[in-house]
Structure 1
Amino acid sequence: MSQNKFIVRKVAVLGAGVMGAQIAAHLANAGVEPILFDLPAKEGNKNGIVLKAIENLKKQNPAPLSSKSRADYIRPANYDDHLELLKECDLVIEAIAERMDWKLGLYEKVAPHLGADTIFATNTSGLSINKLAEGCPESMRSRFCGIHFFNPPRYMHLVEIIPCATSDSVMLDRLEEFLVTTLGKGVIRAKDTPNFVANRIGVYSMLACIHNAQKFGIRFDVVDDLTGPRLGRPKSATFRTADVVGLDTFAHVVKTMDDTLPNDPWHALFKSPEWLQKLITAGALGAKTKVGIYKKEGKTKLVLDPASGEYVEANKKGDDAVKELLKIKDPAKRFAKLRESSNPEAQFLWACFRDVFHYIAYHLADVAENARDVDFAIRWGFGWSEGPFETWQSAGWKQVAQWVKEDIDAGKTIVNAPLPAWVEQRDGVHQTDGSYNPSRDSVEPRSALAVYKRQLFPARLKGEAEPSYGETVFENDGVRAWTYGGDDVLVVSFKSKAHSIGPAVLEGVNKAIELAEQRFKGLVIWQTEEPFSVGADLSSMLPAFMSGDWGAIDNMVAEFQKTSMRIRYSQIPVVAATQGYVFGGGCEFVLHCDRVVAALESYIGLVEVGVGLLPGGGGCKEFALRAAQEAKGDLFASLKDYYMNIAMAQVAKSAEEGRDLGFLRKADVVVFNQYELLHVAKQQVIALAESGYRPPLKVKGFPVAGRAGAASIRGQLTNMLEGGFISKHDYYIGATIADVMTGGDVEAGTLVDEQWILDLERKAFMTLLKNEKTQERIAYMLQNNKPLRN
């Protein structure tokens, strides 16, 4: 391939089924123009199949589109009329049904229409890439490879690239860089073996779990109670995951393993259990048919009893004694206790771990280039907090290997295949300089591709060197301010739980700004892990609240407002780098920054209404100001949407939706790869500083909607109250927010300054805080972590 800079302008997706349409959606999210192809419709508009698929994207939950308007960028096409469009595409992704003959027939059809350098990738979860390549026209073979997105493509971080024997290495590198930065993916390169890495090991893990559940007589609901978050895995655990994926889809992957892995020692395990086959025959396919392993009758959740074939109430939990064992922090002690226990549930858990360790050790050389790719595949593709090799190594490599060997020798494992020799020769698979590759008997360093230099703190594995978050400049109980990389940018990270904002964080942010003004080009607010911030630390107000020291709380709110304004008017650029929840006070900080660099999956909102309050750290003021600045003759119309954001506690479900709702501005940057956030945020600070940064001039006066605007909002609230849509306390909160955002008891069009609204905001916050109904909401939230509607 030519060595010119590779820019992806357009991508064709062949096949408008579930995966094809959602891949096209995510391309549109990323600002890449997708052309979505399918067969011509037999009746009506020949693009009818694709147009229907695009409409369906707007209705799905979780949303494949970062904003519904992104659907407009997907260009519909069909194979009869539009193949010439392929010449314009830098990348073509084939995503039709998993049939070799259909795929090869399509390749013959499209090959003459591809551009000279067009990359052609097949999105398959299990077909042999080399066999598909052999069936390709020769002109395509060097530009051909496998690409395996995980469902749903917007949210699942993993993409597997599967080279074939003829794949051009430059092409593969280009594709990886595009996937990593533009689409925000975690890429691993898999060997061309059935189901590749993640599905091969992840589905084996589920089959081993099913096998051991039967062996030890553990109910399905108990299995799910034990194998979900308690093991650092998704809430859907094992059997609920099968329901979510679709029992037919799960069975299809199992059948692929059965058909294509006849020499795998575990081959006998690759069968769908009889109870699963019966469910599929009956059309009980899981979540998509509302009945599968689980189902609901009214409000009662039922689970299948495989022995009787009947559903029973899903009300059983794991044994408390076993759950206590899972809380042991030292993994070596935890595994020792599980293995020693005579409790069937403990034996079940040890067996599940042991059988996965056995399998990954035996097959590492077959399926992946190194142990790192296995662990990331399972973490990113199946949502485990730790990969299986990480878990093994952190529990003591040699001791666990010895236990596995003893169980093999005792006939306790699923098969008696021996552990490979390299297992006993090593102390682990992850170390500072890389991860073990048994094929070469060497340690493989991380990829040297330029794109990974943008990841200052990439995803780490246990066993690798702990990340060093730079040099500390200042630290208190709430924050750490630090530098990294010698670029004169100060970074401040919160130390509080869920990065909530209390007095120590406020003090720390102010100190960080002071230091940045003295010595640095600017400041980035970035957290070393999700979320960005859940907002104000309500529990920090409790002592003053319990003693009725309202003055202390009033001072705390005033300090919050001053910190927001300090961010706004500091002498250096302040950039927020957000990911995950950006709620309440965290959102208010973001609103006052010079620039925001937001990961696509930033969920931004002023949610104080949920605890019976209003934004007290400058959020009401900022939205009133933005409404005035954006008004084109009709201030109330501009204000209304901002008001609804606060009154309805609207949360943006993506950074782009955050822009649509007004939480982010046009100049703010959306980043697709969370590991690039800090790099991009620092570059924004440097760019602002180098361009002669000056803080914005203080607003002398801006118009407000006044008492007439507040009255209009109250009228709408009255209708909602009388219709039973809101409670009396909701009405009271809504009216209070309206009074603040419209400027209080003044005429429409009156010019006020920021401090005027801040004073109204703080006074209203204190009034609501003293209200009994609000106090009930706060207590309920602190106790139950969910809002009370009273």
Structure 2
Amino acid sequence: MMRSIRKAAVIGSGVMGSGIAAHLANAGIPCLLLDIVPKQPTDEETAKGLTLEHAAVRSRLAAQAVEKLRKTKPSPLYDDAFADRITPGNLDDHLALIADVDWVIEVVVENLEVKQRLLSRVEAHWKPGTVVSSNTSGISIEAMSADCSESFRRHFLGTHFFNPPRYMKLLELIPGELTEPDIVSGMREFCEKRLGKGVVLAKDTPNFIANRIGTYGLLVTLQEMLDKGFAVEEVDAVTGPAMGRPKSATFRTLDLVGIDTFVHVANNVYESTQDEAEKAVFAVPAALRGMVEKGWLGEKSGQGFYLKQKGPNGSEILSLNVAAMEYEPQKKPSSASLEAVKLAKGAKEKTKALIGAGDRYSELAWNILKKVLVYSAEKLGEIADTVREIDEAMKWGFNWELGPFETWDAIGLPKSVQRMEAEGTAVPAWVKDWVAAGHTSFYRKQEGATFYVSRGEYKQLETPAEEISLKRLKEHNKVVKSNSGASLIDLGDGVACLEFHSPNNAIGADILVMIQQSLEEVRRNYDGLVIANQGRNFCVGANIMILLMEAQDEEWDEIDGIIRLFQNTMYKVKRFEKPVVAAPHRMTLGGGVEACMPADRIVAAAETYFGLVEAGVGLIPAGGGCKELALRTSQRVTHPDADMQPYINQAFETIGMAKVSTSGHDALKLGLFKPTDRIVVNQEHLIYEAKRSVLGLARGGYEPIREEKIRVVGAEGKAVLQLGAYGMKQGGYISDHDLKIANKLAHVLAGGDVPAGSLVTEQYMLDLEREAFLSLCGEPKTQARMQHMLAKGKALRN
């Protein structure tokens, strides 16, 4: 059973401790945040007459940490108001309060003796049954709890969150020898469902799984660079997206982590391992030690492997010549292998293209990759029992697209083992035996099921009911209809799912046609519809390339037809006689927002960045976005004499400034979600929850949304909006073209030049949207913005 955690306590209010407390608060869990009592008051506290006996002074460290959470960007909180769920305190005065919590998390300095002393104090106030965990990145769980009682140790385990806790999916659970299995399974389920984590079970070994493999990989990469004379930027060109890894690759990652932090993690394995070959790899190179001595620690010190400085042509980023310990202008790496990678699609094909091209960069990639693959295989059974736990740890903790064993499968297991042995690389015996037994991969699919290696044999992957995979459903022939832009997929239980799969999930005519066809299919054969996909982002908006081409050719009737198709399609979704639930995640922009707004309900991932951003390309929303916000204002202010202006001002500001929510909760504050919409923390459960919502609506006597008139602020309200925009122009905050866009937007949101309080139809508002959109498409500066967005991926302010 899932563990019931109603209240928690975090001990240690540093970056990691406060971040964990923030994420507990995100999940709706009240939390104590405790730290030590300061040794003395600050000068400011003394000036106020405060002494060390004053409560504000004694709990200052935790209180400051909570306030910092509200200001940190990117925010550790879904909503700044959630900081109120965290109660700051100190260890001397408030430790006894842990008797009232369900989970105590220790997040103090990475020092065994400090942790042991703290656990002794915790046990003195511990209530039997309460879970206690240590957020350590590598200290032994057994060692730190060795002096605790057997009962305490049965409820104790490691919970290694990755930083920052809100954004990093990986959580390593590390049971001790006496940890009760029910505690492990209950906490695993809680952390997956309530905290949205990807949980792997790690063994109590130095640095556990992800840091063990990741640190090894970074060290062998550094050594390969030093041995073969590669430049920092060359290595990063090879070990980034070309190899299915993040853009930060190797050395930008080290700069982000902090060179001193990385050295500490490497030393942890060096001091713990008895294997001399492994010890040699984890011995920190002199170059890294030198960087720490110089204070070149990466981002936090302003320089590391890279240094940003101002040059004659603006800012430039220099790279470190590690051999000379001097910064130099970067070279632009180029080779046949890197060109081959550009032509390949997906991490599997890119990796194969990279190592198969036969040039010096291919050799660099292969020499790094084979060592990481062999090391991962050597550690199977020591750090984790299954290849899947190692793979998931690297994907969730280091943002690799493929884990080590998935990579091995991708490049060809038998072939690569043969090459390794031919080159004198010692391949673990179990891998050779596995291949000799006729196996060609560590994963296999059979009769629709996935199997992976665990303890020397294949084990079937058991997928929780909450994790609906559209890819798996398509493999099981559940596609009902499909075209180039979208597919309708049978989710079972009378619910269908409309999936976007165009490039970047941008909305074009193909998606709009499939939406209309899907409505017809659902009308005949289903109880309701989910609009969702499992791409990197839900939808980046409409296909502006087509709009730009038509505008440049002055094909105004074509553009008018496209917008009418969009508007009519969204209108049909809104008036559909069966429930429709939209399930957006991550970037959901422009037309993507307008595809969600007509739904009966939005069930969104917590990490949803939702915004009507058309002003950034010189336009206004014309797929119903303006109409929907005006309608919500009308519904919100029901009394005829009530002032609607403040609410329409908010909508004007949200659209005009192209605001994008920082989370699903923030979208609610911006008025882009309705109070009835839901937020789901674990994105893997999103489609399941959306399906449940459809079924709930269908079984509850669903009635379609009826059309209603919209009360608008009219000409008077329009003047207020335009006056505000003019003031911003006079103050130098917006350009002439921004002002033109703002005036068009004001005209639409206000309902045109009708008297204040007039009631208008939804179609009237849609006509205003379309007219303004067409007018702006003809503006040269709007076309320049569209062109710039397509070329550069960011807005042009002209």
TM range (shorter): over 0.9
Q: Which residue is 2:395 aligned to?
A: 379
**SS in structure 1 opposite 2:246?**
coil
Which residue is equivalent to 2:331? 316
Name which of 474, 478, 483 aligns with 1:471: 478
Question: Which residue of 536, 542, 549 corresponds with 1:530?
Answer: 536
Cα 1:338–1:23 shift into 2, 3 Å:
closer
TM-score (norm 2): 0.93
CA distance in 2, matches of 1:82, 1:158: 31
Instruction: State the shift of 1:651 in Å.
Output: 0.4
Deviates more, 1:159-168 or 1:427-436: 427-436
Question: Residue in 1 aligned with 2:489?
Answer: 482
Question: How many residues were matched structurally?
Answer: 770
Q: Contact 2:788/2:796 (CA < 8 Å) preserved in 1?
A: yes
SS in 1 for 2:32: strand
Does structure 1 conserve the Cα–Cα contact (< 8 Å) formed by 2:542 and 2:591? yes
How far is 1:457 from its partner?
2.1
By how many angstroms is 1:469 displaced? 6.0
Matched, 1:240 2:237: no
User: In 2, Cα distance between the equivalents of 1:20 and 1:283?
Assistant: 25
1:341 to partner: Cα distance: 6.3
Q: Following TM superposition, by how much is the alpha carbon of 1:379 offset from its aligned partner in structure 2, in angstroms?
A: 0.5
Q: Which residue of 2 aligns with 1:567?
A: 573
Q: CA deviation at 1:364?
A: 1.4
Separation of aligned partners in 2, 1:348 and 1:556: 49
Give how far 1:136 is off.
2.1
The code of the aligned residue for 1:712 comes to: V
Match of 1:602 among 588, 604, 608: 608
The residue aligned with 2:441 is: 428
Query: Retained in 1: the 8 A contact 2:32–2:86?
Result: yes
Larger deviation, residues 320-329 vs 49-58: 320-329
For the pair 1:32 / 2:29, whether they are aligned, the reply is yes
Q: Is the 8 A contact 1:219 1:305 kept in 2?
A: yes
1:151 paired with 2:163, answer yes
| Aligned match for 1:628, one of 625, 628, 634 | 634
The corresponding residue for 2:375 is 359
Alignment of 1:326 with 2:341, yes or no, is yes
Would you say the 8 A contact 2:70–2:77 is kept in 1? Answer: yes
In structure 1, the residue matched to 2:664 is 655
The one-letter code matched in structure 2 to 1:16 is S
Shift of residue 137, structure 1, vs aligned partner: 2.7
- Aligned match of 1:726 in 717, 720, 734? 734
SS in 2 for 1:160: strand
Judged with a 3 Å threshold, the aligned counterparts in structure 2 of structure 1 residues 603 and 160 are, in CA distance, closer, same or farther, namely: same
How many percent of aligned residue pairs carry the same amino acid? 38
Q: In the alignment, what sits opposite 1:748? A: 756
**Deviation sequence 1:539-584 (CA, Å, 0-9, x none):** 3335543442211211211121111121211101110011111111
- Determine helix, strand or coil for the equivalent of 1:66: coil
- Bigger shift: residues 123-132 or 261-270: 261-270
Secondary structure in 1 matching 2:520 = helix
Write the distance in 2 (CA, Å) between the matches of 1:780 and 1:441.
54
User: Partner residue of 1:287?
Assistant: 299
Distance 1:560 1:597 in 2: 22
Contact preservation (8 Å) 2:580, 2:601: yes
Aligned residue number for residue 405 of structure 1: 421
Q: 2-side partners of 1:233 and 1:651: how far apart?
A: 27
Aligned to 2:142: 130
Which of 471, 493, 498 aligns to 2:499? It is: 493
Shift of 1:15: 0.8
Give the C-alpha shift of residue 729 in structure 1. 0.3
Confirm or deny: 8 A CA contact 1:706 1:748 kept in the other structure: yes
Choose from 766, 776, 780 the match for 1:768: 776
1:514 CA displacement = 2.1
Deviations 1:281-332 (A, max 9, x none): 222211111111211111121111111111112x213223231243464999
* Residue of structure 2 in register with 1:107 after alignment: 119
CA contact (8 A) 1:509 1:563 kept: yes
1:782 partner amino acid: L
Provide the rounded CA distance (Å) in 2 between the counterparts of 1:173 and 1:543: 56
User: For residues 329-388 of structure 1, what are the alpha-carbon distances to aligned partners after superposition, in whole Å with 9 as ceiling and x for unaligned?
Assistant: 499997787667664322111101111112112221211111011111101100011111
Distance in 2 between the 1:542 and 1:229 partners? 30
CA distance in 1 between counterparts of 2:724 and 2:265 reads 54
1:447 deviates by 5.2
Tell me what 2:457 maps to. Answer: 442
Which residue does the alignment assign to 1:581? 587
Q: What's the CA shift string for 1:681-727, capped at 9, x where partnerless?
A: 0000000011100012211x332112222222222222221222111
| 2:519 paired residue number | 513
Residue-by-residue CA offset, 1:430-475 (whole Å, 9 max, x unaligned)? 123665556x322233357xxx2211229x9xxxx89636522222
Deviation per CA, 1:637-692: give whole Å up to 9, x if none: 11111111100000001111111111111111111111101110000000001110
Preserved contact between residue 401 and residue 423 of structure 1 (Cα < 8 Å)? no
The 3-state SS of whatever aligns with 1:617 is coil
Give the Å deviation of 1:783.
Answer: 2.5
- Give the alignment of 1:256-271 within 5 angstroms: 256-263=268-275, 265-271=277-283
Counterpart residue type for residue 18 of structure 1: V
Aligned partner of 2:692 among 676, 683, 689: 683
Aligned pairs for 1:343-358 within 5 A: 343-358=359-374
Counterparts of 2:534 and 2:377 in 1: how far apart (Å)?
32
Q: In structure 1, the residue corresponding to 2:71 is in which secondary structure? A: coil
Q: Which moved more, 1:20-29 or 1:518-527?
A: 518-527
**Cα drift, residue 416 of structure 1:** 9.0
Q: Is 1:303 matched with 2:319? A: yes
Task: Confirm or deny: 8 A CA contact 1:358 1:404 kept in the other structure.
Answer: no
Secondary structure of the corresponding residue to residue 93 of structure 1: strand
2:433 aligned partner, one-letter code: W
CA distance in 2, matches of 1:471, 1:445: 22
**Which of 218, 221, 242 in structure 2 is aligned with 1:230?**
242
Q: Name the aligned partner's letter for residue 446 of structure 1.
A: L
Q: How does 1:774-785 map to 2 (within 5 A)?
A: 774-785=782-793
Letter in 1 for 2:91: Y
2 CA distance for matches of 1:173 and 1:191?
15
3-state SS, counterpart of residue 50 of structure 1: helix
Where in structure 2 are the equivalents of 1:696-707 lying within 5 Å?
A: 696-699=705-708, 701-707=709-715
What letter matches 1:562 in structure 2? N
Report the equivalent of 2:47.
none
Going from structure 1 to structure 2, the CA distance change for 1:593 and 1:264 (only over 3 Å counts) comes to farther
Aligned to 1:163: 175
Name the counterpart of 2:652: 643
Structure 2 Cα separation of the partners of residues 265 and 69 of structure 1: 51
Q: Residue type matched to 1:481 in 2? A: L
Q: CA RMSD in A?
A: 2.1
Query: Tell me, what secondary structure is at the counterpart of 1:491?
Result: strand
**Aligned partners of 1:469 and 1:484 also within 8 Å:** no
Amino acid paired to 1:427: T
Contact 2:452/2:460 (CA < 8 Å) preserved in 1?
Answer: no
The Cα shift of 1:199 comes to 0.4
294-303 or 540-549, which deviates more: 540-549
Whole-angstrom CA distance in 2 between matches of 1:635 and 1:307: 67
One-letter code aligned to 1:477: S
Change (3 A) 1:445 1:471: closer
Say which of 3, 6, 10 aligns to 2:7: 10
Q: Is the 8 A contact 2:3 2:189 kept in 1?
A: no
Q: Provide closer, same or farther for how the CA distance between residues 339 and 726 of structure 1 changes in structure 2, counting only shifts above 3 A.
A: closer
Q: Secondary structure at the match of 2:605?
A: strand
Equivalent AA in structure 2 for residue 26 of structure 1: H
1:271 CA drift (Å): 2.0
Higher deviation after alignment, 108-117 or 663-672:
108-117
1:599 aligned partner, one-letter code: A
